[in-house]
Chains A and B, each alone.
Chain A
């Protein structure tokens, strides 16, 4: 059974390698091949889920272990000189994320078949995305600290190219900012991991987690947690280390944004659940109040920043800062409830924000812009399906009970209500209160988005001079409100020219041409339905039966905190 996990990493890698063959020069064949490969990975993931669902102790000598332990393990030597072993395995913490990764990648490919981003070179894009998948899945499967780090790094270069080659107008700067920022985080992370190694003498994550920091002095744990936490916090991202995120998400093509928000951010938070908190409990206890405080600041900051955005894509990017703040708050409580909340929030955010970025990508493709003022409202009337889906995704994201977004936030606040023993409870009560205010702000900006885009009456087409003049006014107001000058300048520019530029950027000139007339806009296509429906279904499913996910994570979370803790 251990082979299964190797296959999960090897299949996309071999797929990427196969793409170098000249047979894939033919247009469209590469994307079809990529879809097939990622579909195979998804099937393998589901097989892993099935194997995981078997009762413990029945999957042969490689699995087993106590309840909540690692399953389907593979342990092969790779580099003895570095003590680096090719050690893979899944448990309740990593399995949902692996499924999420495989699912989102597959859906991205499905979406790609009919909606390729500007920039051409589909073969290169498919190859890049497959390498990206290797890194993402590998990160969640790795059970060796250095192997974890290697996979963690694998995603950087492909994502850089996804942004830099297929991104929007400011793509170069955004891509450079992304890779430099995250590499700095990775380097600090590496230092932290090596501190753990130097102190504990092993890289085996299972052994380190079982030890729970035994044998490591408190000062070393704090130092290591600081380094590892800072490294992971860049990726997550935690305020104030989030500044790379809005640019990267905004400039990336749709598939890039989906994978960035849906999976790459999770790699950071997964690191907290897998490395930082289990292996360095004393360090975590010492720094948890700080983590919680920064998380709460992130929640409020993200929401306020969202309120100030005019570009929907940028707004959703900032909303990630807020949502990941809830995830970090869950971790900071150091309780099983909090960690369950964080893991749930991770998956929910991946599904919801992935869907949101898909939808915004569709909006941008049709309207040629994602600027709220220029979209001009009335989407429910013009494109009822797209408008409905957008409404659904926004409501899910703001945490409506009954949808997936609710449980992560609620459980995180519940965890903050009763943090782990040893943590200052009054402080965490404050965090809870502030976080609760954050949920209200979240609702505020999403409802503002809906009221301006989906509802109301569609105004005149933006290319008319009257509308352009209107934008000038809006732009001027935006400057007063402190919106970055670039956005304001874009809005104040002459409408006609910009539309031409946007149309060229999107590449789908045919579709943008149709937008001008009120009746001709294309609503959701079959491919888009295929890519989005699974996400919608899962969001509803997890919202109504959160236990489907909690039942998987709870044993693993209990294993992290030891048998003494009570889990709801």
Chain B
């Protein structure tokens, strides 16, 4: 085991590939620009919007960089730009020098997801900030900082950088939540998230230190090599790993627990409800999409890139956690009356679905030959040319060639069939989920401008009052439930089910099936409210719509005004744009889910 002490020991001048880090760099520059402009521009009424547009420009520029890199990436010799590599003078092997930053397909897909979501969130923020209770410059700076972390994280390929970028995602969020002054609920949410997050970081760092202590390296590919115990296969690997399995298990559990906090997986999910509800809506959207995506990116990286050799250990854990997470999230969501709180628990449930394929991946790898057969059959359905098909059909899960997969393009970074396919399924679900969930949050944002309480009952009759918003929300909820016409959600669920069934995890498939039904209950209840007749007291001047005779009367709902199509107040416009973009993306995903599937697979 070569002693690699990272980048510190002898004076080495590293050549940094600035093209590789262009996207996070753009975000950082934009963040600095926002801060400087906030400090030096005269405080005039329109300034908030200017800062918002600068932030939006930064996010979109970074997104453009990511798109260009993705397109250009196909021409690169090994499919990815990498930088911050261990120089050969420090013991790197000739072919695969361990790099800390790799902008491969995996990283670019996540970066694209995060930045697209970021653009929507910036737009939502512009509406939120129009209220004037929140300092604009700080808000956008923190938002861009969090996005920077989320873009860095999936490209990180060593444990230190993973932890640092994860903290970069988390820390600004506490401040974002607490930025609204004199709001007790927000302060409570910020404190709660802070405490939970700090504890989770500590736990994860402990696990990371154990991993480092045992293998002597922090780079993920070296960890993987250490745990594969060289070219030995099967029993030999287990024998070679003889003395340390207990410590390894502890380390894995601790690392997984650390990420489980971030993605609000059971048993570390309890913060979600209060924090989402207490946060401004854009921050809740940030938590549920960007922060969650970052958590999943880290989890997938650690599990599938660094620890594929210990799949037998983490697979059952992930399976149980996934089952519990979706169940707990759905059951808790049923009782909610507050829109954001309901979305909070629903997003916990969705986390469970996203986790599920990872459990399947592991059991496919560790599984018997009977389970390997469908795996091979399924891999034939994936587009050829990725790392998957070549190694998959050979069927030897522990073959050494599989490990060289890090050099290959595509999501199947670990180069092992089951895990690659499973990671792709998780990411595909995450992308679908992001689009659907952001649509829901955007509409909730718009409605919350009029109904401060943001209760589910405030949405009664929304389709009649403002058809566009109502239909968009209905569509996103049906998508989240996974039913047509919300085909995006349906296909996302099919992708996950396919992995689970292919791996022979029947019980998990059944648990997920039952959860789909539980989830439908609250989604459809909310959707039905959108279409339900409004209170009968509503003055209706348009004669074309007859009042439903059997309309239920809800006396307690205060209706502000019987306006049909509210002429949107100016501050709502960015949120409307955001909602429109999110709906558009969701519709595209519904009609052509292949866009996502070919991007991740």
Contacts and interface: CB of A to CB of B under 8 A. Distances in A.
Interface of A: 25-27, 78-83, 118-121, 124, 131, 135, 146, 149-150, 153-154, 156-157, 160-161, 164-165, 169, 172, 175-176, 179-180, 183-184, 187-188, 190-191, 194-195, 197-201, 223, 504-505, 507
A158 to B, nearest CB: 9
Contacts of A191: 497, 501, 506, 509-510, 513
Contacts of A169: 550
Interface string B104-126: 00000000000000000000000
B266 interface: no
Interface stretch (B25-33, B174-182, B521-529): B521-529
A80 B601 CA distance: 11
B531 interface: yes
Given A120-B547, A153-B490, A135 B484 contact: yes
A82 B484 contact: no
A172 B484 CA distance: 20
A153 B484 contact: yes
B514 A184 contact: yes
Interface stretch (B185-193, B208-216, B378-386): B378-386
Given A180-B517, A187-B516, 8 more contacts: A79-B597, A80-B598, A81-B593, A119-B550, A153-B490, A160-B524, A194-B501, A201-B380
B520 A180 contact: yes
A154 B377 CA distance: 29
B330 to A, nearest CB: 12
Given A165-B531, A505-B550, A79 B594 contact: yes
B381 A504 contact: no
B491 interface: yes
Contacts of A197: 378, 498, 501
B502 interface: yes
Given A118-B549, A187-B513, A507-B549, A81 B502 contact: no
B487 interface: yes
B484 A150 contact: yes
Contacts of A505: 549-550
Contacts of A124: 531
B545 A120 contact: yes
What are the 3 closest A-B residue pairs judged by CB atoms, nearest first? A81-B597, A187-B513, A198-B374
A187 B520 CA distance: 12
Given A81-B597, A176-B521, A191-B510, A120 B546 contact: yes
B548 A172 contact: no
Contacts of A183: 483, 516-517, 520
Given A81-B593, A179-B524, A184-B514, A199 B491 contact: no
Contacts of A135: 484
A41 B573 CA distance: 41
A533 B497 CA distance: 46
Contacts of A26: 544
A41 to B, nearest CB: 19
Contact of B601 (A81, A184, A200): A81
Contacts of A79: 491, 592-594, 597
Nearest to A118: B549
B549 A119 contact: yes
Of B377, B485, B592, B601, most buried by chain A (CB within 10 Å of CB) is: B485
B478 interface: yes
6 contacts: A119-B550, A135-B484, A150-B490, A172-B528, A187-B512, A190-B493
Nearest to A78: B594
B495 interface: yes
Interface in B318-374: 374
A199 B513 contact: no
Contacts of B517: 180, 183-184, 187
Contacts of B236: none
B247 interface: no
Interface in B543-601: 544-550, 592-594, 597-598, 601
Contacts of A201: 377-378, 380-381
A355 to B, nearest CB: 26
B487 A81 contact: no
Interface of B: 374, 377-378, 380-383, 478, 483-485, 487, 490-491, 493-495, 497-498, 501-502, 506, 509-510, 512-514, 516-517, 520-521, 524-525, 528, 531-532, 544-550, 592-594, 597-598, 601
A121 B483 contact: no
A25 B544 contact: yes
Contacts of B506: 191, 223
A180 B544 CA distance: 34
B484 A157 contact: yes
A504 B377 contact: no
A243 to B, nearest CB: 15
Contacts of A156: 483-484
A184 B519 CA distance: 11
B378 A157 contact: no
A373 B374 CA distance: 60
Contact of A157 (B478, B501, B592): B478
B183 to A, nearest CB: 36
Nearest to A169: B550
A83 to B, nearest CB: 4
A160 to B, nearest CB: 7
A121 B498 CA distance: 40
A82 B550 CA distance: 44
B296 to A, nearest CB: 20
B381 to A, nearest CB: 4
Contacts of A176: 521, 524-525
A187 to B, nearest CB: 4
A156 B478 CA distance: 11
A239 to B, nearest CB: 21
Contacts of B485: 131, 154, 157
A440 B549 CA distance: 42
Given A131-B485, A198-B378, A179 B546 contact: no
A198 B525 contact: no
A184 B517 CA distance: 6
Contacts of A149: 494
B548 A120 contact: yes
A190 B546 CA distance: 41
A176 B527 CA distance: 12
Contacts of A507: 549
Contacts of B382: 81
Contacts of A190: 493-494, 497, 513
A197 B498 CA distance: 9
Contacts of A175: 528
Given A153-B490, A183-B483, A183-B517, A119 B548 contact: yes
Contacts of A78: 594
Nearest to B502: A198
B521 A180 contact: yes
Contacts of A157: 478, 483-485, 524
A176 to B, nearest CB: 7
B502 A194 contact: yes
Nearest to B593: A79
Given A157-B478, A157-B484, A164 B501 contact: no
Nearest to B503: A198
A13 to B, nearest CB: 10
Of A25, A80, A172, A175, most buried by chain B (CB within 10 Å of CB) is: A80
Contacts of B478: 157
Given A183-B483, A507-B549, A82 B513 contact: no
A80 B495 CA distance: 12
Contacts of B510: 188, 191
A156 B502 CA distance: 27
Nearest to A189: B513
Nearest to B371: A198
A348 B202 CA distance: 69
B414 to A, nearest CB: 20
A80 B382 CA distance: 8
Contacts of B383: 80-81
